[in-house]
A and B are shown apart, each in its own frame.
Chain A
Amino acid sequence: MITLGCVLLLCGLARVMATYPIWWSLAVGQQYSSLGTQPILCGSIPGLVPKQLRFCRNYVEIMPSVAEGVKIGIQECQHQFRGRRWNCTTINDSLAIFGPVLDKATRESAFVHAIASAGVAFAVTRSCAEGSATICGCDTRHKGPPGEGWKWGGCSEDVEFGSMVSREFADARENRPDARSAMNRQNNEAGRTSLNDNMFLKCKCHGLSGSCEVKTCWWSQPDFRVIGDYMKDKYDSASEMAVEKHRESRGWVETLRPKYNYFKPPADGDLVYYETSPNFCDPNPETGSFGTRDRSCNLTSHGIDGCDLLCCGRGHNTRTEKRREKCHCIFHWCCYVSCQECMRVYDVHTCK
């Protein structure tokens, strides 16, 4: 009986782990802090499914950018959620870097998946421009010896390559027929779509006497903050779905359909979820909530970062703090700031 329980528990754990994108730990792991300077060993990345492992081995030179992408995704998540009850906290000593929050198919999970997949596409595109990856964009559309395609008609935009990497790598594990996989697929795609939607077109005229007789245009990637803002809007307007089970030839297949018929069904760029979020007020190891105790809050704000809402009505403590700060700084564009030191007094409010 005990062994059976153990097996069940293990199975349960394994099931959870299988859905959890453990490879995201690339972004926080100490061993990858020197990204770009030393090659990544694909075998050492935890939680890769065979397809991802294969991809990693084939494109090992872009793996640092993949890791970098997850990292900027997480940073952006933490920026966007900085004043909220759930603030995108990562746990350092676990492979499941967000803790159990992502086990449930909540809005938060949806956001994290989307921003991570957008981050990967973004970072890969960026590294292509930097020249740190040699395989970017230049597919062999034009027949002939290698290099001829580039000489004949140039390469496709790096953005397409970035999205392709994100699609191949991040979505590699989302091929199960269950509802969660469908949700992750949709949300990952939403992240990439948001990246594409926010590209902006720039043009340069260079014809006769610099006239627009000849004009060349290209798509530029926005600052990742813009993507973050956009995704945050998508988070706020995410669609709640209901799970439907179908019997198909390969077995039971779960699909998602909009829960409320009077809302518009989600488009490609929309986030979807099908479980309600916990309230994140109190610590709960099961839901992955850390609670808002000791979080600092904004006394003057009436929004979610205000002390009333953030502290879930428990009230807050106030203490005054003296901080030594740099002030009257003179900046130079890089690397050198001359400052004075000032003493400032702050009122710090923390939740009870």
Chain B
Amino acid sequence: MAGAIIENMSTKKLVIFGVILLLFQAFSFMVGGLIAPGPTSVVHYLATKCVDTAKSHQSTKWFMPWGPNQCEKIRTFDEAMAKKIEANNIVFAVHIPLPNKEMSPWFQFILVILQFDIAFKMNNQIEDGALATVDVGLAYRDDSLSEWTEMAHSLEQRKLNCNFTTIKTYENEGRYYECDLLPFMEVGSVAHKYYLLNIRLPVHERKKVNVGIGEIKDIRLVGIHQNGGFTKVWFAMKTFLTPSILIIMIWYWRRITLMTRPPVLLEKVIFALGISMTFINIPVEWFSVGFNWTWMLLFGDIRQGIFYSMLLSFWIIFCGEHLMDQTERNRFSIYWKQVGPIVFGSFCLFIFDMCERGVQLTNPFYSIWASDVGTELAMAFIIVAGICACLYFLFLCFMVFQVFRNISGKRTSLPAMSKARRLHYEGLIFRFKFLMLVTLFCAAMTVIFFIISQVNEGHWHWGDYTVQVNSAFFTGIYGMWNLYVFAIMFLYAPSHKRYGDNQSSDPGASSGEEIQLTTTITHVDGPTEVYKMMGKDSQE
């Protein structure tokens, strides 16, 4: 019966292995921090106010804010008032990107946020719960001379959530309201070079469309896309990591199949973790550079979701399989109580994601947050997912606590064993605890870097060097979980070394115990000695 590598490897080799992993870890941080630019870029757009001079609103006409064939513009609405231009004839035009630049498939996605500049006026205030109705069209073209091709057209409603922070007096007329950002558009692939948005705010008095929305002075859009450089570094990293994990996975499974006994649950779960890691690693995003696959964003979410739920399930099962007071193990069905919340929570998030990003495949302007029902539904999904996450962590903490309690309980019986065996068991316990600590460390690092990225500006300056902290965070954490999965597969693979071979100092006692181990707990034959030791304990 062979133990796992983690138990049979010498401390020296283990240290070397750890150091190599740490080097790779440092490398993955440095790739993000020093080579990659920031993960995303922000471009500010101020909509140009164009005048639609045509009497009938032909939908085929597109209005360009600048360049050749630019539209007839007005600077302010006072001008429109003087020229007696109707609201329905005003088109807000935004060209993405700004002049002399072009979009690239490497940008992966475009996210646009809408912001209204609404001036306060005593007798034209924003009504409570005012809805802005926007008639918006999106078009694209691939060279700066060809015709625009329509990509999407929609009539959207957005709730104006504005408040006026100063006193509402005539003195303060002309100040702007402070309005919440409105989600506007999300495109999952950037296959074209130029995009054009034409926004209208149609007014229909009887239907109460766009009435009581205050004095809109300007429409601002904020465009967010992933930086091309970051995408390249990210793809390169994925392309490098895929074979590494794949190879160790194949190696791991080969070791398992070489054994005489069938694989136990823990080994299967580790393998499944490897598969989900490979699934997230496989750089299918390369195709997004060549093909217009808008579902890539959604697919990425799904892959990430699968990996997270797999990782969370792995922790539960890892702890559970090292628990001593459970007589029945090695069956997936007994973990339904713990894995259930994970599956259910992930399912909720999946439904939510389908409602938001799934619908955006057909209508890029759709936002679940735009309508009241949608907001409630989305909140419900998120709250349920949150409750599931809390439940999960309670379970996990409880299990970890139990494992550690049982280990320390086991320690009290250690002095009764022979010296060599005791030392060996102590080593096993130490290594088990060490792995638990590594897990904890990885989780803590993720949380810490998450917090840093939330409060940090995004880059630090060291002399002439700019360190992109957020990129370092992304590549570093991604690399870290890859190394984690790699290490687990490596360390928990069955070892070739025969356990007990080099313990010749007390052969009698050793073989005696060995017999006891093998005879009494054959049905709980497990991958590690700690695992078996605990199983034995529960048998007694």
A139 to B371, alpha carbons, bound, how many Å? 41
Say if the beta carbon of A215 comes within 8 Å of chain B. Answer: yes
Query: Given that A152-B228, A206-B111, A225-B174 are known contacts, is A335 also in contact with B43, CB under 8 Å in the complex?
Result: no
> Which residues of A have CB within 8 Å of B121?
331
Q: Is B479 an interface residue (CB 8 A)?
A: no
Q: Is B227 within 8 A of A213, CB to CB? A: no
- CA–CA, A138 to B80, complex, Å? 33
- The answer on a CB contact under 8 Å between A332 and B41 is no
Query: Is B75 at the interface (CB under 8 A from chain A)?
Result: yes
Residue of B nearest to A333 (CB): B216
B-side interface mostly? mixed
Cβ A204 vs Cβ B228 within 8 A: no
Number of interface residues of B (CB under 8 A): 74
Interface membership of B86, Cβ < 8 A: yes
> Smallest distance from the beta carbon of B24 to chain A beta carbons, Å?
23
Which residue of chain B has its CB nearest to the CB of A337? B81
- B537 proximal to A (CB < 8 A): no
Q: List the B side residues contacting A218 at CB < 8 Å.
A: 42, 44, 222
Q: Given A153-B37, A214-B39, A216-B42, is A335 in contact with B227 using a C-beta cutoff of 8 Å?
A: no
C-alpha gap A151/B103 in the complex (Å) = 8
Q: Using Cβ atoms and an 8 Å threshold, which residues of chain B touch A142?
A: 37, 229
Does B301 count as interface, using CB distance less than 8 angstroms? yes
Q: Are A213 and B43 neighbours in the complex by a CB distance under 8 Å?
A: no
Q: Is A128 an interface residue (CB 8 A)?
A: yes
Q: Is the CB of A134 within 8 A of B99?
A: yes
A151 engages B106 (CB within 8 Å):
yes
A134 with B100: CB separation less than 8 A: yes
Query: How distant is the Cα of A256 from the Cα of B273 in the complex, in angstroms?
Result: 69
Q: Does A130 touch B at the CB level, under 8 Å?
A: yes
The proximity string for B residues 82-117 relative to A, scoring 1 for CB distances below 8 Å and 0 otherwise, is 001111001000010111111010110001010101
Q: Give A171 to B346 CA distance when docked, in angstroms.
A: 58
Q: Is the CB of B95 within 8 A of A154?
A: no
Across the interface, do A131 and B95 meet the contact criterion of CB distance under 8 Å?
yes
In the assembled complex, B422 has its CB within 8 A of some CB on chain A: no
Asked whether any CB of chain A lies closer than 8 Å to the CB of B453, the reply is: yes
Contacting pair B77 A334 (CB below 8 A): yes
Q: How many residues of A contact B (CB 8 A)?
A: 46
Does the CB pair A129–B227 fall under 8 Å? no
Whole-angstrom distance from the CB of A344 to the nearest CB of chain B? 14
A223-B175 contact in complex given A152-B229, A202-B181, A332-B203, C-beta closer than 8 Å = yes
Instruction: Write out the residue numbers on chain B whose beta carbons fall within 8 Å of the beta carbon of A128.
Output: 44, 98
Distance, CA A307 to CA B99, complexed state (A): 53
Contact with B66, one of A132, A155, A210 (Cβ below 8 angstroms)? A132
Most chain B CB within a 10 A radius of its CB, from A152, A213, A334, A336? A334
Query: Measured between alpha carbons, how far is A54 from B190 in the docked complex, in Å?
Result: 39
Note all chain A residues with C-beta closer than 8 A to B66: 130-132
Interface hits, B175-194 → A, CB 8 Å: 175-176, 181, 186
Contact of A335 among B42, B81, B454 (CB under 8 A): B81
Q: Does A158 contact B (CB under 8 A)?
A: yes
CB neighbours of A225 from chain B (8 A): 174-176
Is there a chain A Cβ closer than 8 Å to B48's Cβ?
yes
Of all chain A residues, which has the CB nearest B109? Answer: A206
Asked whether B458 lies within 8 Å of A217 as measured between CB atoms, the reply is yes
A209 contact set on B, CB distance < 8 A: 301, 305, 349, 352-353, 356
Q: Considering only CB atoms, which chain A residue lies closest to B450 in the complex?
A: A213
Chain A, residues 29-41, CB within 8 Å of chain B (1/0): the string is 0000000100000
B406 interface residue, CB < 8 Å from A? no
User: Chain B residues near A132 (CB, 8 Å)?
Assistant: 66
CA distance in complex: A288, B220 (Å): 41
List the B side residues contacting A214 at CB < 8 Å: 39-40, 474
Check if B65 sits within 8 Å of A331, measured CB to CB. no
Task: Give every chain B residue within 8 A of A337 (Cβ-Cβ).
Answer: 81
Complex CA distance for A47 and B308, rounded to whole angstroms = 66
Within 8 A of A (CB), among B422-479: 450, 453-454, 458, 474
Interface centre among B101, B111, B210 (most CB of A within 10 A): B101
With A128-B44, A331-B124, A335-B85 as contacts: A153 and B111 at CB distance below 8 Å: no
B282, CB-defined interface residue at 8 Å: no
Cβ–Cβ < 8 Å partners of A138 in chain B: 101
Partner of B305, one of A204, A208, A334: A208
Nearest B residue to A329, CB-CB: B123
Which chain B residues in 212-244 approach chain A with CB under 8 Å? 213-216, 220, 222, 224-225, 227-230
Per-residue CB contact flags for chain B residues 127-153 toward chain A (1 = under 8 Å, else 0) read: 000000000000000000000000000
Give A40 to B380 CA distance when docked, in angstroms: 57
Distance of A256 from chain B, by nearest CB (Å)? 31
Please determine whether A332 and B87 come into contact, CB atoms closer than 8 angstroms. Answer: yes
Q: How far is the CB of A65 from chain B (nearest CB, A)?
A: 12
Shortest Cβ distance from B352 into A: residue: A209
| Contacts of A185-241 to chain B: CB distance below 8 A | 202, 204, 206, 208-210, 212-218, 220, 223, 225-226
Scan B298-323; emit 1 where CB is below 8 A from any A CB, else 0.
00010011001000000000000000
Cβ of A147 under 8 Å from chain B: yes
Would you give the 0/1 interface string for A117-137, flagging 1 where the beta carbon is closer than 8 Å to chain B? 000000000101111111010
Contact of A334 among B43, B216, B227 (CB under 8 A): B216
**23 CB < 8 A contacts A-B:** A129-B46, A130-B45, A130-B46, A130-B48, A133-B99, A134-B99, A153-B230, A154-B42, A154-B225, A202-B222, A204-B222, A204-B224, A206-B111, A209-B356, A216-B224, A217-B42, A220-B115, A332-B210, A333-B201, A333-B215, A333-B216, A335-B77, A336-B86
| A-B pairs with lowest CB-CB distance, top 7 | A154-B41, A153-B37, A152-B229, A331-B124, A129-B46, A218-B42, A129-B44
B interface list, Cβ under 8 A from A: 37-46, 48, 65-66, 75, 77, 80-81, 84-87, 90, 95, 97-102, 104, 106-107, 111, 113, 115, 117, 121, 123-124, 174-176, 181, 186, 201, 203, 205, 210-211, 213-216, 220, 222, 224-225, 227-230, 301, 304-305, 308, 349, 352-353, 356, 450, 453-454, 458, 474
Supply 5 further A-B pairs (C-beta < 8 A) apart from A215-B454, A225-B176. Answer: A131-B95, A142-B229, A152-B227, A204-B222, A331-B121
